[in-house]
């Protein structure tokens, strides 16, 4: 038989088959990535609308969810709750499921629609089939194998049912991975598989150019190892021991906290689930309900107790409540406006504080489960190495804060919490397929890390080849008067200008009290931990305002790309340096002119007209250079013009100071 060449790589995808949402991911040499649908959507709602006459799928995903309230008895959501369960097990679920659940063979729970009885496996298979097709369209190849994730507490029957669902969908489930384990794998936790130090690192040790604009560098490797890129002569063995990880997963309808011990081996991860706790009926949906209840109560107060909410309104209200909740994860208030017809308009503003007050008991319940999980694992908080956040509801700032406070550490948030389980499944899949590990696992930082400064230059805080873990911090200030927020853009690369580097992430530090330019003291700290996760924290020290972001710098980068970036930086070193110098010259020139104009205002007629004109002429020359395009201004000439202007204004400065002193004495 000549079916397929032995060299053909096995294509194995990773699938997160969720209660609320499902996703498919693939991991190649660039690391793991989500395969979106043809409209670019990453998430597939785990919802299927069945046809009453033949029991087939009429709509899957977004469309099925959109019409859920219209067709409650045949729109199947949360089928994961029924997978591999007996009628006895799901008794308590039934009141919450709008569709009919009946008893099938051997007491199994089945879904009944019209005259048809359908197994939960068959419905899950419809979702898997959709993901399979999506993957095939994205990868341009048939997909027959998958790693599928299941909750850590799934028993054998539930796991078997998941495997069967795959088979029905035409997918061989080559491995089932616990969801928390997958999340940890996406972050490369559990100890990196030791790499041979290859040419990449050695080549870099030839030394690089450093054009950093640092004012106050304060770089040190956390473990006090020398920073320089000395290639290790023996195998580097970064964190090969196991790690103890808490995975906090707050989704739409379920909450799980798992404590696990994870170790990575040649063939993938070996995990030991030390304990799990949680609540199978606690999730983001509850917060939506809180908003719905609040709105319905207020609408009735305002327009009469008897006001009815027909299904279409309820459907709209549900969508709308979720949108409001999500808005409040990013903003501090959201306007609500509902037109109830007949000139009835309900309007109010919901603040984040109000929502947090409503949701506080809800968050507290998850914390109780965390305590229980720790007790179950017989561990103390100090024994937990990392905390990983999973599930869309962990985007709620209050949740991140509560988890951080409880575990007394910054939880991992670098990866999209909706996607992290699927990404981790694909990492495991790649390992089983024998393809790349996914992501660059190194004991040094392959490319420099920094932030954008005024004029589009990059200030590098951590330079290429720093040993992991590494930390650096630097003080910056503002350029504009009364600036109340500062955008921090985090870049990776060896070039001098942001346009030639790779944007890793952005965040804003807001709420800074207005101060004169140059006065705010912005401390920016970069920490790359042993797992290669970068946390950037910005603190305005005078006001104590603080914000942060977290990214995995090596995701989406291949070794070849790293080397190409390196070569580019050498090739452009001179041009880059000039460009960077021009940016700095322009900035300083603008500040100088601003200063001179202030002094001119102050001295008024205190200097003779001829001297005044002379200064104006210098300003005009320098201003001309500020305004010229890069290719029409020579940095040396520019610098000379500034120097001349400075020199010519020495006397002006003296007069201005004298006048100020006089003024002060008069007062």
CA distance 373 to 246: 9
Residue 142 CB partners (closer than 8 Å, separation 6+): 11, 136
Helix axes 284-303, 311-330, angle to 10 degrees: 120
Cα dihedral 94, 96, 100, 105 sign: negative
Per CB under 6 A, does 358 bind ligand ADP? Answer: no
Output 184 or 600, the one with its CB closest to Mg ion: 184
Per CB under 6 A, does 418 bind ligand ADP? Answer: yes
Output 18 or 55, the one with its CB closest to Mg ion: 18
Q: Which of 14, 18, 120, 238 binds Mg ion (CB under 5 A)?
A: 18
Please report where in the chains the tokens 């955008």 appear, as a residue: 487
Pattern 251-280, ligand ADP, x by CB under 6 A: xxxx--------------------------
CB of residue 180 vs Mg ion: minimum separation in angstroms? 10
Q: Which of 20, 313, 453, 467 binds ligand ADP (CB under 6 A)?
A: 20
> Contact, 596 vs 652, CB < 8 A?
yes
CB of residue 323 vs ligand ADP: minimum separation in angstroms? 9
Output 324 or 478, the one with its CB closest to ligand ADP: 324
Output 252 or 411, the one with its CB closest to ligand ADP: 252
CA distance 246 to 550: 18
Pattern 311-330, ligand ADP, x by CB under 6 A: -----------x--xx--x-
Per CB under 6 A, does 21 bind ligand ADP? Answer: yes
Q: Which of 285, 452, 529, 566 binds ligand ADP (CB under 6 A)?
A: 285
Active-site annotation holds for 631: no
> Contact, 65 vs 45, CB < 8 A?
yes
Residue 253 site contact among ligand ADP, Mg ion, none (CB < 5 to 8 Å, cut-off depends on kind): ligand ADP
Output 329 or 523, the one with its CB closest to ligand ADP: 329
CB of residue 75 vs ligand ADP: minimum separation in angstroms? 16
Instruction: Return the number of other C-beta atoms located less than 10 Å from residue 487's C-beta.
Output: 12
Q: Which of 110, 132, 395, 545 binds ligand ADP (CB under 6 A)?
A: 395
Output 417 or 446, the one with its CB closest to ligand ADP: 417
Which residues lie across from 219 on neighbouring strands?
A: 472
CB of residue 377 vs ligand ADP: minimum separation in angstroms? 22
Active-site annotation holds for 204: no
233-237 LR contacts (CB < 8 Å, sep 24+): 235/194, 235/195, 235/196, 235/197, 236/194, 236/195, 236/197, 236/443, 237/194
Per CB under 6 A, does 450 bind ligand ADP? Answer: no
The closest of 443, 452, 511 to 476, measured between CA atoms, is 452
CB of residue 4 vs ligand ADP: minimum separation in angstroms? 35
Catalytic residue among 37, 58, 130, 179: 179
What Rg, from alpha-carbon coordinates, does the chain have?
30
- Indicate left, alpha or beta for 231 from its phi (over 0: left) and psi (-120 to 50: alpha): beta
Longest pairwise C-alpha distance within the chain: 105
Catalytic residue among 37, 80, 410, 576: 80
**What are the two backbone dihedrals, phi and then psi, of residue 71, each rounded to the nearest 5 degrees?**
-125, 65
Cα atoms in the 13 Å half-sphere on the side-chain side of 265? 4
Per CB under 5 A, does 251 bind Mg ion? Answer: yes
Element (H, E) at 168: helix 156-168
Output 355 or 585, the one with its CB closest to ligand ADP: 355
Active-site annotation holds for 443: no
Catalytic residue among 37, 58, 130, 249: 249
- Contacts with Mg ion, residue ranges (CB under 5 A): 18, 251
Show which residues are catalytic.
Answer: 16, 80, 179, 249
Binding site for ligand ADP (CB under 6 A): 18-21, 251-254, 283-285, 322, 325-326, 329, 391-393, 395-396, 418
């Amino acid at each position: 038989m000549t079916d397929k060449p032995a060299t053909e790589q096995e294509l194995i995808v990773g699938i997160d088959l969720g209660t609320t949402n499902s996703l498919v991911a693939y991991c190649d040499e660039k690391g793991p990535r989500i395969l979106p649908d043809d409209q670019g959507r990453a998430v597939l709602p785990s919802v299927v609308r069945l046809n009453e006459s033949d029991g087939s799928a009429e709509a899957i995903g977004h469309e099925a969810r959109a019409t859920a309230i219209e067709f409650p008895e045949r729109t199947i959501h949360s089928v994961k709750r029924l997978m591999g369960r007996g009628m006895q097990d799901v008794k308590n679920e039934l009141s919450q499921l709008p569709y009919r659940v009946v008893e099938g063979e051997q007491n199994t729970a089945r879904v009944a629609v019209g005259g048809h009885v359908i197994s939960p496996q068959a419905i899950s298979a419809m979702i898997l089939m959709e993901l399979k097709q999506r993957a095939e369209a994205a990868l341009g190849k048939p997909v027959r194998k998958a790693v599928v994730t299941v909750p850590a507490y799934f028993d054998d029957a539930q796991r078997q049912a998941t495997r069967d669902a795959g088979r029905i969908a035409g997918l061989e489930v080559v491995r089932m991975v616990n969801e928390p384990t997958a999340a940890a794998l996406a972050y490369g936790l559990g100890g990196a598989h030791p790499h041979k130090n290859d040419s990449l690192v050695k080549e870099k040790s030839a030394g690089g150019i450093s054009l950093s604009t640092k004012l106050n560098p304060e770089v040190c490797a956390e473990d006090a190892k020398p920073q320089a890129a000395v290639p290790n002569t023996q195998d580097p063995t970064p964190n090969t021991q196991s790690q103890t990880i808490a995975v906090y997963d707050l989704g739409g309808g379920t909450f799980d906290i798992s404590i696990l011990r994870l170790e990575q081996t040649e063939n993938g991860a070996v995990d030991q689930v030390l304990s799990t706790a949680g609540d199978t009926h606690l999730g983001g949906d509850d917060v939506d309900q809180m908003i719905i209840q609040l709105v319905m109560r207020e609408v009735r107060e305002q327009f009469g107790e008897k006001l009815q909410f027909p299904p279409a309104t309820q459907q709209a209200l549900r969508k709308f409540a979720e949108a409001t909740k999500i808005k409040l994860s990013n903003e501090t208030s959201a306007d609500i406006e509902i037109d109830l017809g007949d000139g009835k308009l309900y309007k109010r503003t919901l603040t984040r504080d109000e929502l947090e007050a409503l949701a506080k008991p809800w968050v507290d319940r998850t914390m109780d489960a965390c305590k229980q999980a720790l007790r179950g694992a017989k561990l103390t908080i100090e024994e937990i190495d990392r905390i990983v956040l999973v599930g869309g509801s962990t985007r709620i700032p209050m949740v991140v804060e509560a988890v951080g406070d409880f575990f007394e550490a910054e939880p991992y948030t670098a990866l999209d919490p909706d996607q992290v389980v699927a990404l981790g499944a694909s990492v495991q899949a790649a390992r089983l397929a024998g393809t790349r590990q996914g992501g660059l696992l190194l004991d040094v930082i392959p490319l420099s890390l920094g932030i954008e400064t005024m004029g589009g230059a990059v200030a590098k805080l951590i330079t290429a080849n720093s040993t992991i873990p590494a930390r650096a911090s630097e003080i910056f200030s503002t350029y504009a008067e009364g600036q109340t927020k500062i955008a921090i853009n985090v870049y990776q690369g060896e070039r001098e200008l942001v346009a030639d580097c790779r944007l890793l992430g952005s965040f804003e530090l807001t709420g800074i009290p207005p101060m004169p330019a140059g006065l705010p003291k912005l401390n920016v700290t970069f920490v790359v931990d042993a797992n290669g996760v970068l946390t950037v924290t910005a603190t305005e020290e005078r006001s104590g305002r603080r914000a942060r972001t977290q990214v995995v710098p090596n995701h989406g980068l291949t070794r070849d790309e790293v080397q190409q970036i390196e070569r580019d930086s050498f090739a452009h070193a001179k041009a880059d340096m000039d460009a960077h110098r021009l940016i700095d010259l322009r900035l300083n020139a603008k500040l100088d002119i601003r200063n001179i104009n202030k002094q001119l205002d102050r001295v008024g007629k205190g200097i003779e007209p001829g001297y005044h004109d002379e200064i104006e002429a210098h300003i005009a020359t320098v201003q001309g250079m500020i305004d010229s395009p890069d290719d029409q201004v020579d940095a040396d000439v520019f610098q000379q013009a500034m120097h001349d202007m400075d020199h010519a204004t020495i006397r002006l400065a003296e007069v201005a100071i004298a006048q100020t002193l006089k003024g002060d004495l008069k007062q």
